[in-house]
Amino acid sequence: MRLLVSRDYKKDDTVVKIGNVSIGDGSLSIIAGPCTIESFDQLNDVASGLAKMNVDILRAGAFKPRTSSYSFQGMGAEGLEMLSEVKSRLGLPTVSEIVDIADLSLFNDVDILQVGAKNMQNYSLLKALGMQEKPVLLKRGWSNTIDEFLESAEYIYREGNHNIILCERGIRTFEPSARNSFDINAIPLLKKKTHLPVIGDPSHGTGISELVMPVSLAIVAAGADGLMIEVHENPECALCDGRQSITLKEYEILENRVKLYEKIRNFDNSSI
């Protein structure tokens, strides 16, 4: 069966627009921010620093599904209120993870609804998000094939919501040296198979802050439409995923380098 999200159904790229940001139009968009909202000051400090560096979209988790029930689960509705205030102050579009459709009303001021890897095959959630209008950022599950990933996107698309952003975030392999193995093959394969925009998350994809920079460059070179980066003002003290988060200073260096790679990539494409 021909999927609606496939190139066979639609040849032209789908462009997802969030305010003044367009994802999938050939430019590189950067989504960055803390993995989890820990306090207003923490969120505001990171977001303010990123805003000064012209980040495109602010990411921050309020609800965090964790493997261990003893791990920090996020600040919930209170965190979303903080995110809304920071958004109002800085004028940045936002993305945050939704884990239960019953919480949808709490996300009224969030611009992009994220479906995390653990919920990639939560079909009830996917169908419900397909019935509303906000863009959905869908992450690939750590043990799922690319075709299964596209089938999950289909659940959203066929319900009427065509504003879907696919995010490769690494898969589980036999290699224990990193949190995940980032599947760089997935970027060009997805770009070939689907008209939906494709971004990469090197933070989850590696789990090691020192690897975020080189893998980000590889993601851009592979043709991704954007990056999703975890940034924390003090990663060693982070309540969630500090080991894979980079500092604001490291983000500034990363942004400059990936933008250079974007220029090189666009020049190469224009000369073909």
Q: How many CA atoms lie within 13 A of 9 on its CB side?
A: 15
Type of residue at 69? S
Average pLDDT, the chain: 93
Query: If pLDDT is split at 50, 70 and 90, which confidence band does 236 have?
Result: confident
pLDDT(164) > 60 = yes
CA distance 272 to 267: 9
Counting Cβ atoms within 10 Å, is residue 116 exposed (0-12), middle (13-18) or buried (19+)?
Answer: buried
CB 120 within 8 A of CB 149: yes
pLDDT(122) > 70 = yes
pTM of the model as a whole: 0.94
pLDDT(125) > 60 = yes
So what's the pLDDT on residue 172?
Answer: 93
Percent over 90 (pLDDT), the chain: 84
CA distance 118 to 125: 12
Query: If pLDDT is split at 50, 70 and 90, which confidence band does 270 have?
Result: low
Query: If pLDDT is split at 50, 70 and 90, which confidence band does 66 have?
Result: low
> CA torsion, points 216, 115, 230, 254, in degrees to nearest 10?
30
Percent over 70 (pLDDT), the chain: 96
In tens, the pLDDT along 237-254 reads 777 777 889 999 999 999
For residues 23-32, give the mean pLDDT: 96
In tens, the pLDDT along 180-220 reads 999 999 999 999 999 999 999 999 999 999 999 999 999 99
C-alpha torsion sign, points 232, 129, 75, 65: negative
